[in-house]
């Protein structure tokens, strides 16, 4: 894909990671997860809403029996900066006691969301909790968080597409792009 070619309905978005590259990398992550979790009681816990496309593609490439669950989290208003205040807006549908939990995130930015979720989930005594994020934006990290599976490291720009939004928009772009300006 020519990264200069923009999507007509999203002219302010500069392509950064094309969809073929996303799928290739997701296949690699899934292969690694398949090896690491063989014989274990794996539960993917997606962090809504940003995870929805990544989780859909990732779980279909993991060759193991697994469960899918979701958490709704709100940390952002309509701003591009974290408020630092994290709230669980909808919880997982089954207890995670004794399970091998893999949190599935779209992006780790300040780390505040994942750090809060790790603490919250650990209190429910799963066997393990690990983190799988499609994107890692280390430039603005405020708390160190363990990232067990990382798709791509991105620069300190606001990125959208493939589940990630700006003011609710652009989640349906098939690639990752950056907002210009």
From the candidates 109, 136, 148, 165, give the one annotated as an active-site residue.
109
How many C-beta atoms surround the C-beta of residue 116 within 10 A? 19
Which window, 12-20, 32-40, 63-71, 107-115, contacts ligand IMP (CB under 6 A)?
Answer: 107-115
CA distance 23 to 50: 17
CA distance 133 to 102: 10
By CB under 6 A, is residue 75 in contact with ligand IMP? yes
CA distance 112 to 38: 30
Q: Which of 92/107 has CB closer to ligand IMP?
A: 107
Selection from 157, 116, 113 nearest residue 133 by Cα? 113
By CB under 6 A, is residue 163 in contact with ligand IMP? no
Is 109 catalytic? The answer is: yes
CA distance 137 to 107: 7
DSSP string, 27-50: HHHHHHHHHHTTTS-EEEEEEETT
Show the binding pattern over residues 33-72: x = contacts ligand IMP (CB under 6 A), - = does not. --------------x--x----------------------
Show the binding pattern over residues 106-125: x = contacts Mg ion (CB under 5 A), - = does not. x-------------------
By CB under 6 A, is residue 113 in contact with ligand IMP? yes
Can you give the binding site for ligand IMP, defined by CB under 6 A?
47, 50, 75-76, 82, 105-113, 137, 158-160, 164
Can you give the binding site for Mg ion, defined by CB under 5 A?
50, 106
* Residues annotated as catalytic (active site), given as ranges: 109
């Amino acid at each position: 894909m020519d990264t200069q070619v923009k999507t007509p309905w999203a002219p302010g978005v500069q392509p950064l990671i094309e969809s073929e590259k996303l799928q290739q990398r997701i296949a690699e992550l899934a292969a690694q997860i398949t090896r690491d979790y063989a014989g274990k009681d794996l539960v993917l816990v997606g962090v809504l809403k940003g995870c929805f496309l990544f989780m859909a593609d990732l779980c279909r490439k993991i060759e193991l029996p697994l469960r899918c669950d979701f958490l709704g989290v709100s940390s952002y208003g309509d701003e591009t900066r974290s408020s630092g205040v994290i709230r669980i807006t909808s919880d997982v549908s089954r207890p995670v006691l004794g399970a091998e939990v893999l949190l599935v995130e779209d992006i780790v930015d300040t780390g505040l969301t994942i750090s809060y979720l790790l603490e919250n989930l650990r209190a429910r005594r799963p066997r393990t909790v690990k983190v799988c994020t499609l994107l890692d934006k280390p430039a603005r990290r405020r708390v160190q968080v363990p990232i067990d599976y990382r798709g791509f490291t991105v620069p300190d720009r606001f990125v959208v597409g493939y589940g990630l939004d700006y003011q609710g928009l652009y989640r349906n772009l098939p690639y990752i792009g950056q907002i210009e300006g």
